[in-house]
Structure 1
Amino acid sequence: MGNALRFFYGSCQRQTAADEPQELGSHGVVTETAGFSALAQDLRLFHTNSRVPPGLSRYVNSSEKAQINWYSKLLKAWNEARTPPKQAEAAARLVIQTLQNIGKANLEGFLAFYGLPVPQTTEEDTDVTPPWAEGVQFELLTLPIDEWAIGDGDGFTAYVSTGEQMESNLIPQEVKNAVIRRHNARAAKDFKQAKLIKKEVIAAGYRFITLPNQKEILAHKYRIRLRGVDAPECKMPYGEEAKQALAKMIKGKCLQIHVYGVDKYGRTVGDVYCNGIFIQELLLRRGCAWHYKAFDARPEFAESEKKARADRRGLWALPNPEEPWVWKKKNPNPRETLQKNPSVYRM
């Protein structure tokens, strides 16, 4: 049972033959990490034995000698970095800067092996992630965001690896027990039972995610609400455009979220950053959302909305845009009403 827990909560162990995936990084060792921490693990191993992960050759077209040279350069760059990478975007940037001469195909293959995103640059890349503002309770570093997980222009679902120290400490005992039972069921080739246990884990707010290099991790689900902005509902004019705008900014990306708390619907409310870009600020600049002044009085938000209005960008090009909070009062969502006041629908 102890081995099964270590399988999912950060230590390393070899899988049983019955549970072996087709391809593994780090010499067949599975770690409970996301892409950037898997790279850190392999660099530590390389420092010890000067060996590269055997599965990497399926992703790149280069000799083992060349790969050894890559890891030597990366290990040096990682150790010399003023601030070592702490999330996937930063790790991807370090890889690209260090291995920029190995060719596009090899570079993309290396990033894919670790499930690392290709950082996108935009005209807003001059923004930097600020220190925690007053009221921030903690920080989330998410796994890449699925497009289907983006519900509208100001909310989405994110998953955070339980390899993160805070998440590891928060795992409920029933989820830990379920992980053990699923591991044992798969080892015994009782895949029907393993599937049922997997549903238990999902119902508890967790999910098993397989990275591109076939490493499986356990992740915690969060419903995210962007703080201080309110985008048009999908059924409103410009609602679908606002959703697609947010999707273009964050889909497939790892995010940094400064969390202020949880709202009455159980959503985690926070400031969202992607590759150093403040997402709420960008949405307001592009006219994809209103400044939600009732809950956030930041003057920079008011200024960004004012400029977008003046330029008639996004929703401000509409003849008479309606505030989302006004529209929602006229068109109440039964599900939200139930969440806010469960007694309303009790029989």
Structure 2
Amino acid sequence: MQTSFRFFNQNLFRSNKKILFFLFVFIMGNVIGFLYEQCCKPSTTADFGGGSIGPHGVSALAHDLFNFETNSQVPEGLSKHVVSSKKAQANWYRKLSEAWKQTKPPPKTPEEATRLVIQTLKRHQKKDVEGLLAFYGLSQPDVLVENSTGVHLPAGVKFEMQTLPVDVKAIPDGDTITVYVSTTDPREATCVPGDVQAAAVQRSQARAQRNYTKADALHQEIINSGYRMISLQNKEEVLARKYRIRLRGIDAPESSMPYGKEAKAELVKIVQGKCLRVLVYGEDRYQRCVGDIYCNGKFVQELMLKKGCAWHYTAYDQRQELAKWEQQARAKRIGLWASSNPEKPWEWRKNKRQGK
């Protein structure tokens, strides 16, 4: 009898252990499921604010690009905003995903995301690009225009140029750069003077014949016409057009002013040896192109202002972001703002003209 009772208790204990184990598994399964729903489950475009103006639109785009890499699917509803097929849309997302990953750091603001979309899809239909931007609340139709090559540019831009690597000798101060653009660029190729083209061909022939005296004389003719033969890293030479660029919206101390050398050194540090993207708005009285300059995706004027290497040139540019970046440097007392009363470059130039 006692043995039977002990056997009964053991079986009851084993049964209770099994019940407790399955109860534990059931509870943990529900807990994990709840946590997955709250923290790990992929969000939809709406969860990221797709179609709304602001940073949420950037998050929605990033989320959809991540999803596309996972399942090769474009977001539902996009077709209502664009005219191209699903196949074409998949091609856009493939390009955008690759561009997004290569951008360091990745876009964080609507302006940065808009710029990436426009640059990546610049050869596609304008309606599709605008529709895609509108889908994510990134469209800025009041500041986007289309130039003759089909590339969207900010309003007021006359043309865009992609430069060859910048030579350190081409930077005289903190707000001016001399750049060269290859004549293989479609815009440049149509306007190279005939005598310059002929001189370039004759120079190449002279060099092949080792007649370097003639070759140098021909190169000087090319230089006098505003062009130059530029040697690339692969030792290939290209004919390039010369442009002098005045950085739009800032005024750095002149070389002989306090902090002038430091301002020039900072600009050299940013652009030396780099290819630049220049958006040209016009010319100043010295026949320099006035433009916004981007180096590796970074706005050069912003870098110069935040480092305290330039003033916001309010007489010619009223952009609020430039004023904000100058104020940030002033507050930190960095660069030229380490001085309690730095002299304004435009006043220094005026006094010099007047002999003061």
Same structural fold, with TM-score higher than 0.5 when normalized by the shorter chain: yes
| Counterpart Cα distance in 1 of 2:228 and 2:353 | 31
What is aligned with 1:134? 155
Cα distance, 1:84 vs structure 2 = 11
What is aligned with 1:157? 178
Cα distance, 1:150 vs structure 2 = 0.8
Question: Is 1:253 paired with 2:266?
Answer: no
Cα distance, 1:187 vs structure 2 = 3.7
| Counterpart Cα distance in 2 of 1:285 and 1:163 | 35
TM-score normalized by the length of structure 2 = 0.58
Cα distance, 1:325 vs structure 2 = 0.1
Q: What do the CA deviations read for 1:20-54 (whole angstroms, capped 9, x no partner)?
A: xxxxxxxxxxxxxxxxxxxxxxxxxxxxxxxxxxx
Q: Which moved further from structure 2: 287-296 or 302-311?
A: 302-311
Amino acid at match of 2:273: G
| Counterpart Cα distance in 1 of 2:319 and 2:92 | 38
| Counterpart Cα distance in 1 of 2:349 and 2:105 | 33
Gaps of 5+ in 1: 1-77, 98-118, 335-347
| Counterpart Cα distance in 1 of 2:233 and 2:243 | 22
| Counterpart Cα distance in 1 of 2:233 and 2:215 | 22
Question: Is 1:82 paired with 2:95?
Answer: yes
Identity %, equivalent residues: 49
Question: Is 1:195 paired with 2:198?
Answer: no
What is aligned with 2:229? 208
Give runs of aligned pairs for residues 20-39 of structure 1, distance below 5 A: none
Question: Is 1:272 paired with 2:285?
Answer: no
Cα distance, 1:304 vs structure 2 = 1.2
| Counterpart Cα distance in 2 of 1:205 and 1:167 | 13
| Counterpart Cα distance in 2 of 1:84 and 1:196 | 50
Q: Give the direction of change, closer, same or farther, for the CA distance of 1:184–1:132 in structure 2 (3 Å limit).
A: same
Aligned residues: 227
What is the aligned-residue RMSD (CA, Å)? 3.0
CA contact (8 A) 1:159 1:221 kept: yes
What is aligned with 2:264? 243
Amino acid at match of 2:179: A
Q: Give the direction of change, closer, same or farther, for the CA distance of 1:232–1:317 in structure 2 (3 Å limit).
A: same
Amino acid at match of 1:82: K
Q: SS state of the match for residue 243, structure 2?
A: strand
CA contact (8 A) 1:124 1:277 kept: no
Cα distance, 1:183 vs structure 2 = 2.6
| Counterpart Cα distance in 1 of 2:316 and 2:107 | 25
Cα distance, 1:152 vs structure 2 = 0.4
Cα distance, 1:124 vs structure 2 = 11
| Counterpart Cα distance in 2 of 1:269 and 1:206 | 19
| Counterpart Cα distance in 1 of 2:354 and 2:243 | 21
Q: Give the direction of change, closer, same or farther, for the CA distance of 1:296–1:79 in structure 2 (3 Å limit).
A: closer
Cα distance, 1:159 vs structure 2 = 0.8
| Counterpart Cα distance in 2 of 1:179 and 1:201 | 7
What is aligned with 1:40? none
Query: Pick from 239, 256, 261: which aligns with 1:218?
Result: 239
Q: SS state of the match for residue 306, structure 1?
A: helix
What is aligned with 1:143? 164
Cα distance, 1:166 vs structure 2 = 0.5
| Counterpart Cα distance in 2 of 1:217 and 1:193 | 18
Cα distance, 1:216 vs structure 2 = 1.2
Q: SS state of the match for residue 153, structure 2?
A: coil
Amino acid at match of 2:272: K
What is aligned with 2:192? 171
Q: What do the CA deviations read for 1:180-201 (whole angstroms, capped 9, x no partner)?
A: 2223323443322111101101
| Counterpart Cα distance in 2 of 1:210 and 1:281 | 31
Amino acid at match of 1:173: G
Q: SS state of the match for residue 132, structure 1?
A: strand
| Counterpart Cα distance in 1 of 2:284 and 2:107 | 29
Question: Is 1:287 paired with 2:308?
Answer: yes
| Counterpart Cα distance in 2 of 1:196 and 1:206 | 14
CA contact (8 A) 1:145 1:158 kept: yes
Cα distance, 1:263 vs structure 2 = 1.0
| Counterpart Cα distance in 2 of 1:240 and 1:123 | 33
Q: What do the CA deviations read for 1:248-277 (whole angstroms, capped 9, x no partner)?
A: 111111110000111110111100001111
Amino acid at match of 1:296: D
In the TM superposition, structure 1's runs of 4+ consecutive aligned residues that sit over 6 Å from their partners are 121-127
| Counterpart Cα distance in 2 of 1:168 and 1:323 | 41
CA contact (8 A) 1:125 1:277 kept: no
What is aligned with 2:318? 297
Q: Give the direction of change, closer, same or farther, for the CA distance of 1:81–1:211 in structure 2 (3 Å limit).
A: farther
Gaps of 5+ in 2: 1-90, 116-151
Q: Give the direction of change, closer, same or farther, for the CA distance of 1:79–1:281 in structure 2 (3 Å limit).
A: closer
Cα distance, 1:238 vs structure 2 = 0.7
CA contact (8 A) 1:153 1:246 kept: yes
Cα distance, 1:319 vs structure 2 = 2.1
Q: SS state of the match for residue 192, structure 1?
A: helix
